Amino acid sequence: MLYVGYVMFAVVLLVAVIAPIYYGDSATAMTSTRNSGPTGAFPMGTDGLGRDMLARTLVATRVTVLAAISATLLAALAGISIGVGVWLAPRRVREASLRVIEFWVSYPAMLVAIVVAAILGRGILPAVLAIAVANTAGFARLTANLAAGIASRDYVVTARLMGVPVGRVAARHVVPNMAEPLLILIAQAFAGTLVELAGLSFIGLGAQSPAFDWGSLLNEGVKKIYTNPILVVAPATALIFASMAALFIGDGLAAAANPRSNTSRARMLRAPVPAPASAATPVHSDALLVVDDLSVRHNDSGKELVSHVSFTIDRGEVLGIVGESGSGKSVTASVVAKLLAEGLTASAGRLSLAGADLFDNLSRKDLARRVALVYQDPGTALNPALTLGSQLSDVLVKVLGQKRTEARRNLVERFSEVLLTDPEGRLRQYPHQLSGGMKQRAMIASAMSTNAQLLVADEPTTALDVTVQREVLSLIKRMNKEMGTSVLFISHDLGVVRALCDRVLVMKEGEIVERIDDMAHLSPESVKHPYTRQLLAATPVVHVPGAVTAGSEALR
């Protein structure tokens, strides 16, 4: 798209340069063929003075494009300077200026242009100035916003603390880091400017006879639309072509700035050949979840994120999976919850949960009864636009078929179980009115309310303070003890996992490198794999000296 835009724009520029040289005379030459329709000599007709409309349109390219480029650059230069200046200004000036910019932006560019035209009179130069003034605000606002965003980044704060003069901070850090969005805006503004300038000419405030641009040609055409409709074709086509060129460039630049990975949909495949018996873990009768020889591949890159992983979770058991980022632990959890991300393919010899084959098309109700989830970031896991009651009751009412009042009662009860004060009131609140810890407790309450057999908890305490972490872990433990819910607990923190889990799997680069069954006696000596030992050593643990003795005095 970007290249199509470049080519189209190059064509426009070429016409702008060449056309006045070759067609300059025929564009202004009056012939006796007046108001002609399309003919061989005048494919786009002639105007009231017998001038060739095609030649006029081509020749007008130079004026139109030149005016649009100057107006865009003027606006960009002025706007960026104002934006940076506003950011550099003292706080009060900055706030006042931002208000004025907001005011300026909230009026149609066309209105601002009309005001300027009212002050400066008609003509192509006043029109260029008018559009530049109107669009300056947009640049100023974007620049000020970007600068404010960049200014709060640590590298700018640090540079200022280092004593780098504020002007140099702007030149070295702020302006270079906003080049991309500004470039996109320039392309978009050019398209807008072209249209607005021609618009001004169209309503008679731009180019004045004998000067002409696309807008004034279009205006002439529209006046004769009944008698000679061909006259509008050439200027209209030219306008569309040029503004599309600019739009394609703008869109192309924007797309290049935010590359979206091309993903294909998630697939779950039963492994074609049953896994060899040696790889399969022996399955006891009370296993709730059986995962046998699970592999997950990234479709496009072919990279294996999880390789030949097998494990089971018994009823009432808490299984932990520990690993660092990229170890495949979360992907494994998403397969178990049947929520594999787009673009991944999972295959396994066996995947069964509470007697159901996860490869089958399980009904939504069957799935909701089996698995409940708690996520890492309670700040984003809840829908910001819905009240807690509204979103948490959906699964109960619409999937599990409870009555609305029944679901509500259920949630109120669960909310008090997770020690949320004023449960009735909480249900009417929006997520942003709750703290992170409260949100996570609400998520656990929701998991409890569905009475699911397995709780999949993916790093549920990573974003929380230690005291809140302890509360959340306690709630999960209680859910496990009192309701008999099995838990798959994912974490990067071996310390957290050892406090909660009955058994732990250690994952590294998609593979299980160690299975720890005896959590009570976990120590660097009891584990076999060097990676586990390394993790254990790296996990910070509070050492409490036996007692306060003279020894600790000596430390001082």
Partner 1 sequence: MSATTGAPPVADTDTDEMVTVRDLDVSFGATRVLHGVSMSIAAGKTVGVVGESGSGKSTLAKVLVGTVRPENGQVTVDTIDVTRISHSQRGAFAYRRRVQMIPQDPFSSLSPRRTIGQTLAEALDPLHARVRRYSETIAFWLERVGLSADMMARYPHEFSGGQRQRVAIARSLIVEPSFVIADEITSALDVSVQAQILELLAEIKDSLGVTMMFISHNLAVVQNVSDEVVVMYRGEVVESGPVAEIYADPKHWYTRTLLDADPGAPGFTLDL
Partner 2 sequence: MHTIVDRDDDSSSGSATTASRPAQAGSQAVAASSLAGAWRRFAVRRLIGLVTNIILLIFVTFFIVQLIPGDPASAIAGEDASQAQVDQIRVELGLDQPLLLQLGSYVAHVVQGDFGTSFHYKVPALQIVGAAAPYTISIAFTSLVIFLVIGLALGMAVGIITRGDRHRWLDHSFNIGAGVVSSIPAYVQATILVTVFAVWLALLPPAYSPAYSVVQSAILPVAALSIGCIASIARIVRRETSVILEQDYMRTARGWRLGSGTLYAKHMLPNLLTTALTLSGIILTALLGSTLIVEAVFAWPGIGSVVVQAISEYKDYPVIRASVFMIGTISLVFNLLIDVVLGLVDPRTLGDDRG
Alpha-carbon distance of 498 to 251, in angstroms, equals: 51
Q: Are strands 454-458 and 304-314 parallel, antiparallel or unpaired?
A: unpaired
Question: Which of 157, 171, 179, 419 is the binder for partner 2 (CB under 8 A)?
Answer: 157
If the CB atoms of residues 271 and 468 are measured against partner 2, the closer one turns out to be 468
Mind spelling out the 3-state secondary structure of 385-448? CCCHHHHHHHHHHHHCCCCHHHHHHHHHHHHHHCCCCCHHHHHCCCHHHCCHHHHHHHHHHHHH
Which residues between 290 and 349 bind partner 1 (CB under 8 A)? 324-325
Question: Which of 94, 267, 338, 478 is the binder for partner 1 (CB under 8 A)?
Answer: 478
Q: Are strands 486-491 and 318-322 parallel, antiparallel or unpaired?
A: parallel
Q: CB under 5 to 8 A by kind: which of partner 2, partner 1, none does 198 bind? A: partner 2
Indicate whether 419 belongs to the interface with partner 1 (CB under 8 A).
Answer: yes
Q: Which of 65, 69, 45, 40 has its CA nearest to residue 220?
A: 45
Backbone φ and ψ of 270, nearest 5° = -80, 135
Q: CB under 5 to 8 A by kind: which of partner 1, partner 2, none does 552 bind? A: partner 1
Alpha-carbon distance of 455 to 19, in angstroms, equals: 72
Indicate whether 464 belongs to the interface with partner 2 (CB under 8 A).
Answer: yes
- For the chain, how are helix, strand and coil distributed in percent, rounded to 5? 55, 15, 30
Point out which span in 323-331, 345-353, 378-386, 485-493 binds partner 2 (CB under 8 A).
Answer: 378-386
If the CB atoms of residues 86 and 512 are measured against partner 2, the closer one turns out to be 86
Question: Which of 500, 504, 505, 507 is the binder for partner 1 (CB under 8 A)?
Answer: 500
Indicate whether 129 belongs to the interface with partner 2 (CB under 8 A).
Answer: no
Site string for partner 1, 140-159 (x = CB under 8 A): -------------xxxxxxx
Indicate whether 432 belongs to the interface with partner 2 (CB under 8 A).
Answer: yes
Q: CB under 5 to 8 A by kind: which of partner 2, partner 1, none does 117 bind? A: partner 2
Indicate whether 233 belongs to the interface with partner 1 (CB under 8 A).
Answer: no
Q: Is the peptide bond before 20 cis (omega within 30 degrees of 0)?
A: no
Site string for partner 2, 314-343 (x = CB under 8 A): -----------------------x-x--xx
| CA 146 vs CA 77, 143, 154, 537: distances in Å | 16, 5, 15, 43
Which residues between 233 and 262 bind partner 2 (CB under 8 A)? 236, 239-240, 243-244, 246-248, 251, 260, 262
Indicate whether 182 belongs to the interface with partner 1 (CB under 8 A).
Answer: no
Could you tell me the two tokens for 494? Answer: 């071996």
If the CB atoms of residues 411 and 512 are measured against partner 2, the closer one turns out to be 411
Indicate whether 125 belongs to the interface with partner 2 (CB under 8 A).
Answer: no
Residues 6+ apart with CB under 8 A from 381: 375, 439, 443
If the CB atoms of residues 38 and 379 are measured against partner 2, the closer one turns out to be 379
Point out which span in 59-67, 92-100, 259-267, 498-506 binds partner 1 (CB under 8 A).
Answer: 498-506
Indicate whether 267 belongs to the interface with partner 1 (CB under 8 A).
Answer: no
Around 295, how many Cα atoms within 13 Å sit in the side-chain half-sphere? 16
290: helix, coil or strand? strand
Indicate whether 163 belongs to the interface with partner 2 (CB under 8 A).
Answer: no
In the complex, the smallest distance separating the C-beta of residue 377 from partner 2, rounded to whole angstroms, is: 6
Q: Residue 204 region, left (φ>0) first, then alpha (ψ -120 to 50), else beta?
A: left
Indicate whether 545 belongs to the interface with partner 1 (CB under 8 A).
Answer: yes
CA dihedral 333, 339, 340, 343 (to 10 degrees): -150
